Structure 1
Amino acid sequence: MARLKEDLQTELEIKKSRFLCYLHASTSEEDAKDFIQQIKKAHPNATHHCYAFVIGEQNEIQRSNDDGEPSGTAGVPMLDVLNKAGMQDIVAVVVRYFGGIKLGAGGLIRAYGKSVSNALSFAKKTTRMTMHKYQLTFSYDLIGKLDHYFRTHSIEVINKEYNEQVTYEYLCKTAIDMDISEMSNGMFLPVFIEDVYVDVDI
């Protein structure tokens, strides 16, 4: 599943109608509805304010609205694009300013779907990964060797403490006990703390 990293607004013109798509990261239905109202207030003279959102760990909350467009021609295709893109915790609002040319049902479905897919193509996204959090206490003479190892293996050290010995807390995808044991000649081993969820760019 992918999540929106930053809010985004894009615009398309299709047969003289303007389609403004707003994407917003949202983790609750209440927040999504608040955002929809904000967009409506920002565009009081628009012809339509259609929306779709998917929220929840299993995308269990899904809503869409055509806002006066023919039934099934706006909100549903927008929702379909979000689901096919594997998006989670996101609301999309498409504001339409009618340009005088009717698009027909098929044209509307394509226009609203394209508006969302176009916005997603520019969006910065993250995905949630499970990382393992460890604590490692070791002697000062190993700092250089361990810092180099963590850096070259892209392991994030999230906390460092310097007392009689050095204590690092770090996040990694796979256990590195054997490598640390080898570097310290079996003197030091990391202690598993917990699994944590981390959002990483995709």
Structure 2
Amino acid sequence: MSAFSAGPTGTDLPQLARPYTVLSSGAEITHEIERRRSRFRTLLRRVEHEAEAQSWVEKLRRAHPDARHHCSAWVIGPERQLQRSHDDGEPSGTAGAPILAALQKTEMPGGAADLSDVVAVVLRWFGGTLLGPGGLVSAYSDSVTGALHRAREQGQLRSRTSMRVFDVEAPIVEAGRWENELRATGVEVTATEYSSDGAQAQIRLSVPDTEVQTQELHRRIAALSAGTVIPTPAGQRWVDR
């Protein structure tokens, strides 16, 4: 029988993961403000890796060589574990830090400040008047906060939710019924493979990453199989809601 890729065992599975907020895939949000003739244009984009964030910063630098500064910050990972900021020639702490703080602290639609997998780049065109450290901090912060509010207004924010993945083996004559009954209770059936002898089906299932949903799946499989089948943990995946 063809098998799915082996997943971690029950003890290897990650801890229950909390949902967090992301930008819609492919969305690019732009917002611009002006302070004493200096223009601050924020561009937001979703990223999965630091190299992707760095590449986008460099792409914008090449696209807008007339901007004096290309300041940036990013937050990446389900636990927001990777965070970076860059002043790009502005006085230390006046650009990258307030950009990062806006990403960290702006409240999202769910009520939490939990935005991640995002890079913000703020382009500054100097207007001829020095703003001072306080003015710079305020301008960079306000430009990013405004972009985040625009993303919300445009419906470009999503909840990224962890799903637990399991495999179950079913008699091939029962596989269709099992799939239908599981789907009817909200379980996602993501793939089915069949043994070469046509006797067994291996069904891959996903449920929200909570103890309640995991226990309920075990209960449903026990009921379908008269207690003869136990779901095998096969990893974790993230989906946007």
TM > 0.5 fold call: yes
Aligned to 2:199: 164
State the distance in 1 between where 2:163 and 2:175 align: 28
**Partner Cα distance (1:60, 1:201) in 2:** 19
Is 1:150 the equivalent of 2:182? yes
User: Alignment partner of 1:86: what SS?
Assistant: coil
Structure 2 residue runs without a partner (length 5+): 1-19, 106-112, 209-213
Cα distance in structure 2, aligned partners of 1:167 and 1:60: 36
Q: 1:13 to 1:81 in 2, by over 3 A?
A: closer
Find the aligned partners of 1:179 and 1:56 in 2 and give their Cα distance.
32
> What's the counterpart of residue 12 of structure 1?
32
Tell me which moved more, 146-155 or 39-48: 146-155
Segments of 4+ moved more than 6 angstroms = none
1:29-108 matched pairs, under 5 angstroms: 30-55=51-76, 59=80, 61-84=82-105, 85-99=113-127, 103-108=131-136
Which of the numbers 181, 193, 201 marks the counterpart of 2:233?
A: 193
When residues 66 and 161 of structure 1 are mapped into structure 2, their CA distance, relative to the original with a 3 A threshold, is closer
Q: Does structure 1 retain, via aligned residues, the 8 Å contact 2:165–2:204? A: no
SS in 2 for 1:107: helix
Distance change >3 Å, CA 114–CA 153, structure 1 → 2 = farther
How far, CA to CA, are the matches of 1:61 and 1:183 in structure 2? 43
Which whole-Å deviations, capped at 9, do the CAs of 1:59-94 have from their partners, x for residues lacking one?
Answer: 554332223333322111011122224344433211
Aligned-residue RMSD, C-alpha: 3.0
Q: CA deviation at 1:112?
A: 1.2
Q: Percent identity, aligned pairs only? A: 34
Q: Deviations over 1:96-118 (max 9, x none)?
A: 22345654433332221222233
Q: Counterpart of 1:129?
A: 162
TM-score (norm 2): 0.67
Kept after mapping to 2: 8 A contact 1:9/1:20: no
1:12/1:199 CA distance change after superposition, 3 Å: same
Alpha-carbon contact 2:99-2:144 (below 8 Å) kept: yes
1: distance between equivalents of 2:48 and 2:203? 34
Q: Which residue of 2 aligns with 1:119?
A: 147
CA displacement at 1:26 relative to structure 2: 4.4
Asked whether the 8 Å contact 1:137–1:190 carries over to 2, the reply is: no
Q: 1:118 to 1:133 in 2, by over 3 A?
A: farther
Select 1:27's aligned residue among 42, 49, 69: 49
Answer with 41-50 or 159-168: which moved more.
Answer: 159-168
Q: Deviations over 1:123-149 (max 9, x none)?
A: 4345352513222313525624x3333
Q: Decide whether the 8 Å contact of 1:52 with 1:91 is kept in 2.
A: yes
Name the CA distance, whole Å, in 1 between partners of 2:142 and 2:21: 19
Which one-letter code corresponds to 1:111 in the other structure? A
Structure 1: gaps of 5 or more residues: none
Cα distance, 1:68–1:105 mapped onto 2, change above 3 Å = same
One-letter code of the match for 1:124?
A: L
From the two aligned structures, give the one with the greater strand fraction. 1
Count of paired positions: 198
The answer (yes or no) to whether the contact 1:10–1:21 under 8 Å persists in 2 is yes
